[in-house]
Every structure is written in structure tokens, then in C-alpha cells.
Amino acid sequence: MLINFWATWCEPCKEELPSLETLAELEGEDHLEVLAINVGDSKLVMDRFVRSSALRLATLQDSTRQIAREHGVHIYPSTLLVDSKGRIRWLVTGAVDWTSPTVQSWIKGLDDPLSPRPK
């Protein structure tokens, strides 16, 4: 599972979302679930952004930032990579091209305890 924390006011977040969508499509829900959690925006603002950008990712709202705080997220975008047992393996901060070969190695290594940590 990949959980991305983003906001409508965050330019790097908006630039990163299309590659997250591509990753979700390439991997398929059976292999990798991708969830985008909007942080700090009202439901109206988030819904308007999702519609206008035609965002197809599963999206949740964290208007109070409670979920982000509980996971130590203070930089946007930030992404949690979760293994098949539900353990958070890594927190990646900053925008990433989620379709790159490097990221593919992160995803393949989620269940390998010896897999190198994302940089």
C-alpha cells in the first residue's frame, strides 16, 4: 500500500499526483493500493480540485491534519510505503516520480526486510 499526503495549495503535490495515478493504474489494485489523503483543505476545496483535475485516485480528507500528525507527516507531499502485513516500512518526503525504475525497486522491496531504504 502507498499512502500519499497532499494538499491543493502544494505545487509539488499537484505535480506528483499524475505519476501516482499512473503507478496505481500500472500496478492495479490487487498488487498495490494507492490512497491519497488530502491534508488541511475543506471538503469543498478538495472535491472541487478532484473534479477539476479529473483525479481518479482513492481520496480521503484530513481537514484537521490529525491523520498526518499521527504518522509524523509535516512536509507535503509525503508518502508512506506499507508492506503486505500493514507495517509502515518507509516515509518518503517530497515529490517523487512514482513511475521511475528506482521507485519500482522500492515497491518490489516492500516485503523484503533487507531492501534498501528509499532516499
pLDDT at 118: 76
pLDDT at 111: 85
Q: Residue 93 pLDDT > 70, yes or no?
A: yes
Residues 58-83: what's their mean pLDDT? Answer: 94
Q: Residue 114 pLDDT > 90, yes or no?
A: no
Whole-number Å distance between alpha carbons of 36 and 79: 9
Look at domain 2-108 and name its CATH class.
alpha beta
The identity of residue 106, as a single letter, is W
Q: Percent of the chain scored above 70 by pLDDT?
A: 97
Residue 89 DSSP code? E
- The predicted-structure confidence for 39-55, as pLDDT tens digits, reads as follows 999 999 999 999 999 99
Exposed/middle/buried for 76, CB within 10 Å: 0-12, 13-18, 19+?
buried
